[in-house]
Structures are given as C-alpha cells and as structure tokens.
Chain A
C-alpha cells in the first residue's frame, strides 16, 4: 500500500524557469493539500484540491503559482518564473473523502526546490 508519492525529490531551476511538482495521493484518497516549508519554519498551507476542483487556495501566492488535480493523474503544483525566494521544500498531503478519518493528512516525502 504505497503512501503519498512526490516527484521529483529534488529540483534545481534557474531564475525565470518553470517548476512542476507532482503528487500522487494514497490509494483511495481524493483530497490533496500542498504545503511549503521555508528554512527553519513550519509548514504553511498553500492549496487544497479535490479531483478537478480547487477548494481552498487561500495560501497560494497570487502570482506565478497554480495547482491542479485532474480527473486522471497526479496533482501538479506549478511555479512560473521562479525566483530565489521560491526555494523551499514543498510537501503534498492526502486524506480520505469523508468521515472522521478524513481529518488525518498523510504526507509525502516532499520536493526540495532550489532556485539558482
């Protein structure tokens, strides 16, 4: 029973390039959350998605960042025209659809983005 999968684990981009981060939730999970962890900081919520819908994007920067969770395939977090301040670890989490257990989020290993 595979856990949450994220790839790539490490990503290096130059300023101005695009970064695409992928997340496959646990089997049976249809809720996906993206968090960002800056150095010496806790995780900060970015966006919450269900299949084909963005439910809450209150933590997403207004520009350059977008997320999707298509009907088929992984969830994608896309950062356009990256800047050095985007360097961070990006974590994806997934949860069940309903019930009390849906409060529990399972985390992937993260993608560590470095912007040169």
Chain B
C-alpha cells in the first residue's frame, strides 16, 4: 500500500541549531516528493519538491531535502533554525499529474530560544 511515514510527531529545536525532519515513503511508481509547511490556521505552502535529477534539492526559506531511493527517504534539513520556522511540516508523495497526493501525518516543530 502507498503510504508516507513521518516518525516524529513533535520536535523541539533551539534557535540557531540544525534541523532534520524524517520522511519515509512506500510507493509503487516513481515518486514525486514534496515538503509542505503549515502555520496554525493557514493553508499549506510548498517548501520544495523532487521530480528527478539531482537528489539534493533546495527549497525556500533555506530548507533542503535529500532523496535516497535505497532508503525510501526524503528527509528535510535546515542548517540553522529561526523562531519563525515553528510550524507543522508535511511530507507528501505523488505520481504523474492528476493524481492525489498522499500525505504523512505531519511533524510539529517548536523552536526554543
């Protein structure tokens, strides 16, 4: 069955520290992978996406993610977290155009000063 697993429900990171959010997927076809961020009461904003090519992708707000086919993972990273990064982060997988995205349950990021 197709699925996305985000093992960490809640993570707290000190401001200025590095961050890694984990995402594992199970998908029969060649996956298209996405990370979205959701602030409280808001919609989802796309951080970055992977379709093909270079397995390290850069996104907005200083985020990057690395696709590792052998581990079925697409972990999100940021070298130095800012207080404004506190939000909920969703990993999603899809296929060709016109197919639904499958989301993980999300990881809530808290940033401590």
Nearest chain B CB to A12 CB, angstrom units: 15
A91 touching B43, Cβ below 8 Å: yes
Residues of A near B56 (CB, < 8 A) are none
B36 at the interface (CB under 8 A from A): yes
Residues from chain B with Cβ under 8 Å of A98 in the complex: 97
Please pick, from A91, A106, A110, the residue contacting B46 in the complex, using a CB distance under 8 A: A106
- What A residues does B27 contact at CB under 8 A? none
Query: With A40-B105, A43-B103 given, is the CB distance from A55 to B43 under 8 Å?
Result: no
Q: How many residues of A contact B (CB 8 A)?
A: 33
Cβ-defined contact, A42 with B103, below 8 A:
yes
Contact of A110 (CB < 8 Å), options: B43, B90, B101 = B43
B97 to A107, Cβ gap below 8 A?
Answer: no
With contacts A43-B103, A45-B101, A48-B100 taken as known, whether A100 is within 8 angstroms of B51 at the C-beta atoms is yes
Q: Give chain A interface residues in 42-71, CB to chain B under 8 Å.
A: 42-45, 48, 55-56, 58-59
CB nearest neighbor in B for A40:
B105
Contact A42 B98 (CB under 8 A): no
Instruction: Tell me the complex Cα distance, A6–B43, Å.
Output: 10
* A105 contacts across to B, CB distance below 8 A: 94, 101
Query: Is the pair B100, A42 in contact by a Cβ cutoff of 8 Å?
Result: no
List the A residue with the shortest CB-CB distance to B42.
Answer: A109
Q: Can you list 9 pairs linking A and B with CB atoms under 8 Å apart?
A: A31-B98, A33-B101, A40-B105, A56-B99, A58-B100, A103-B32, A104-B46, A106-B46, A110-B42
List residues of chain B with CB under 8 Å of any chain A CB.
4, 32, 34, 36, 41-46, 49, 51, 90, 92, 94-106
A residues contacting B by CB (< 8 A) are 4, 6, 31, 33, 35, 40-45, 48, 55-56, 58-59, 91, 93, 95-96, 98-100, 102-110, 112
